[in-house]
Amino acid sequence: MTGFLAPLMFAGWAAAGADKDCGVPVTVRVVDAASEQPIASAVVRNRSEQDRRRVNTETGQWSDCALYLPDGTELLIEKGMTLEFEISAPGYTNQSISYLVRRRKNLISVHLTEMVIDMSDEDPDDIVIQFGRDKPID
Amino acid sequence: MRITRTGLATLAVGVGLAGAAQAAQWVDFPGAFPDFPCQDGWMACIVDGASVSPELVDGPADLRLTWFDLQPTRSFDPFGGLSAYVGVLEENDVPPAVEQDATEAQRAADAAQAEDAARREAEERDAARQVAADEVARQRDAQVRATERADQLVREAQSASAADQQRLAAAAQVERDAAAVAQAAQREAEAERRRQEEAQAAAEAQANAAREAEAERVAKAAHDAEAARVAAANVQAGPVDCTDLTGLELNASLGKLNDGTIACLESRLSAAPRLTEKKKISLVLMANAWFKGDKKSWESLVKRHFDEIGQSDPDLCYKYALYLSTQGPGRATGVIRWANVALENRTAWTGDTFTSRVYSLYKLRAVASKGLWAVAEERHAADASEETRNRVDKHRNMTKVNAREWYEYAKSAGKDPASALSICMSAAGTKDYCEG
């Protein structure tokens, strides 16, 4: 009866950081770099996956403990894995991050900066509409 | 390094414990397998619906806290009582000896339960008695204080003389009279205040009416003056002749065509049999409206031009798309539509004009798509449904495609592709799509 004491202890020690039905939970929190407010429309995409995961619209957070690969396999996130995320939101510049999974407290805060497209070089006043006369040949 | 040391230490402890466990017999661990693990000395019991026995289930039976996460076990509470036995025993199935044991056990349990209940009742009785005694003491103190105060009042009344009583009565009468006077004055002041408010409201209403009448009079005068000016101009100009379109181009370029000329051009446009003639007149009218600063009229004229005359002029399509892009995200669909039409006819441009305008049109399309996508995302975040999700997907895909076309063109034309790539990656979520 006592023969399994040691393995039991080691198994418990190993399982302390990760649920046996799931991997190590990883949370990505996406906020506006200027206002520090959560971005409700942000999505998080792991490079191994094909799907984009939406963040919670209230908290701006996405969290999971496994990756769902295109071939249907479920890859549990484990300590020591390197995860590569691409975080995007409409109107914001994309950000790619690489993260080494720790045993616990895997909270990644991502600050997206607003995308500014300069439209000042186009002005409708600069476009001259020719009248209906035939244009002279150069 | 610190984690490594901790891991090694844990490993050493585990190996040590494992060695000890291998060397010893289970009887050497009476703490892990106690004969009577229940809180009250029983060998087995039911706590919170789960059985506790000398067998090792998920740890030593008398362990109060779990080993790894310090969570309370079923034996955590040393004061927990035994759960009532809910099984039903058939008399015939129970052997006499077992039945006797069970009866004795039941009796002992009942006695212990009764003793416990009696102890709790005695404690409750003591507590209630103490509360009642406190309440009585409080009431007695309050009664003593009230009696003392009443006696003091009686003594004061007896010591007062008749003269004092008269003086007090006179003072009270004076006070009553003063209060009546003050009340009357207050009523009078209130009435006066109401009268003033009514008068002020009437004066304000009169002033407002006068102001409105004056404003109407001024507006009517201005309107009459404008009508007279237009009439005078028309009379001075004589019969309007708008047949010479080339002659009108200068005034149109300055936005100075008068109302008569505009009306003449409109009638000519309606009556013109050929599209080329209509186009020439429409271009003059549009130029006049644009340079006059009347963008609303210009927009209407452009729409009519596209609907009735043609959409083959890439300059006009480009200008219209650019104008719509300045009107906010609500016009984004129009921007994309007319940018596409302009791109269809881009062969009319050459050289740098071609490069800059095509680049600009791709940019307009991508930015407008991005705006539509952002609006769709906002709506979806506010009130998610299948419809909003489809719209998000549609506009995101459109943004992705338009941004990628812009990016490709920017690269090939030697323009800065950074913004295009940024939008494309934002919509696609990955660089692979945009650069692939």
B324-343 residues touching A, CB cutoff 8 A: 325-326
Beta strands in B27-156 (DSSP E): 45-47, 50-52
More reliable by pLDDT, B369 or B242: B369
Q: pLDDT band at residue B15, thresholds of 50, 70 and 90?
A: low
Q: pLDDT band at residue B101, thresholds of 50, 70 and 90?
A: low
B333-392 residues touching A, CB cutoff 8 A: 360, 363-364, 367, 370, 373-374, 377-378, 380-381, 384
pLDDT of residue B367: 93
Cross-chain Cβ contact B286/A131 below 8 Å: no
A93 → closest Cβ in B24, B360, B422: B422
More reliable by pLDDT, A125 or B136: A125
Q: pLDDT band at residue B32, thresholds of 50, 70 and 90?
A: low
Query: Do A13 and B68 touch, CB atoms closer than 8 A?
Result: yes
pLDDT of residue B1: 45
A85 contact residues in B (CB cutoff 8 A): none
Reduce the DSSP state of residue B50 to 3 states and report it.
strand
Interatomic CA distance for residues B286 and B296, integer angstroms: 11
Interatomic CA distance for residues A79 and B122, integer angstroms: 59
B287 → closest Cβ in A10, A121, A129: A129
Chosen from A1, A2, A137 to mutate, greatest number of chain B CBs within 10 A:
A2
- The pLDDT of residue A3 is above 60: no
Report pLDDT digits (tens) over A35-56.
Answer: 999 999 999 998 888 788 999 9
- The pLDDT of residue B318 is above 80: yes
More reliable by pLDDT, B220 or B322: B322
pLDDT of residue B29: 67
Q: What is the length of chain A?
A: 138
Query: Do A130 and B319 touch, CB atoms closer than 8 A?
Result: no
- What tokens does B315 get? 């300059």
Cross-chain Cβ contact A127/B249 below 8 Å: no
B396 contact residues in A (CB cutoff 8 A): 90
* B79-to-A89, B47, B61, B74 alpha-carbon distances in Å: 57, 11, 16, 12
Cross-chain Cβ contact B18/A94 below 8 Å: no
A interface with B, Cβ–Cβ below 8 Å: 1-3, 5-6, 9-10, 12-13, 16, 40-41, 43, 45, 47, 52, 57, 86, 88-94, 96, 115, 117-119, 121-124, 127-133
Query: Do A32 and A69 touch, CB atoms closer than 8 A?
Result: no
Helices (H) and strands (E) in chain B, counts: 13, 2
Query: Do B254 and B263 touch, CB atoms closer than 8 A?
Result: no
Q: What are phi and psi of B350, to 5 degrees?
A: -140, 160
- The pLDDT of residue B412 is above 60: yes
pLDDT of residue B149: 73
B287 contact residues in A (CB cutoff 8 A): 129, 131
Interatomic CA distance for residues B239 and A80, integer angstroms: 90
B315 contact residues in A (CB cutoff 8 A): 127-130
Minimum CA–CA partner of B319 in chain A:
A124
* Per-residue buried b or exposed e for B131-152, using 16+ beta carbons within 10 Å of the residue's own CB: eeeeeeeeeeeeeeeeeeeeee
Q: Give ipTM to 2 decimals.
A: 0.76
Is residue B311 less than 8 Å (CB to CB) from chain A? no
* Other residues' Cβ atoms within 10 Å of the Cβ of residue A77: 19
Reduce the DSSP state of residue B280 to 3 states and report it.
helix
Query: Do B265 and B252 touch, CB atoms closer than 8 A?
Result: no
Cross-chain Cβ contact A16/B69 below 8 Å: yes
* Per-residue buried b or exposed e for B55-73, using 16+ beta carbons within 10 Å of the residue's own CB: ebeebbbbbeeeeeeeeeb
Is residue B415 less than 8 Å (CB to CB) from chain A? no
- Residue A24 Cα, gap to closest chain B Cα (Å): 17
A136 contact residues in B (CB cutoff 8 A): none
Q: pLDDT band at residue A2, thresholds of 50, 70 and 90?
A: very low
* Other residues' Cβ atoms within 10 Å of the Cβ of residue B45: 22
Is residue B272 less than 8 Å (CB to CB) from chain A? no
pTM of the model: 0.54
A94 → closest Cβ in B284, B370, B422: B422
B24 contact residues in A (CB cutoff 8 A): 2
Interatomic CA distance for residues A127 and B39, integer angstroms: 92
Find the distance separating the first CA and the last CA of chain B, reported in whole Å. Answer: 42
Is residue B292 less than 8 Å (CB to CB) from chain A? no
Interatomic CA distance for residues B423 and A93, integer angstroms: 7
B21-80 residues touching A, CB cutoff 8 A: 21-22, 24, 26, 29, 56, 67-69
Query: Rounded to 5 degrees, what angle do the CA atoms B388, B400, A60 make?
Result: 55
Cross-chain Cβ contact B322/A124 below 8 Å: yes
Interatomic CA distance for residues B111 and B132, integer angstroms: 31
Cross-chain Cβ contact A88/B373 below 8 Å: no
Beta strands in B18-141 (DSSP E): 45-47, 50-52
The residue-averaged pLDDT of B106-124 equals 77
Percent of chain B that is helix, strand, coil (3-state, to 5): 75, 0, 25
Report pLDDT digits (tens) over A87-116.
Answer: 999 989 989 999 999 988 999 999 999 988
* B226-to-B222, B229, B235, B288 alpha-carbon distances in Å: 6, 5, 14, 20
Interatomic CA distance for residues B120 and B9, integer angstroms: 50
pLDDT of residue B282: 92
Minimum CA–CA partner of A45 in chain B:
B429
B326 contact residues in A (CB cutoff 8 A): 124
CB-count exposure of residue B225 (10 Å: 0-12, 13-18, 19+): exposed
- What tokens does B293 get? 């600063």
- The pLDDT of residue A14 is above 50: no
Residue B188, CB-side half-sphere exposure with 13 Å CA sphere: 6
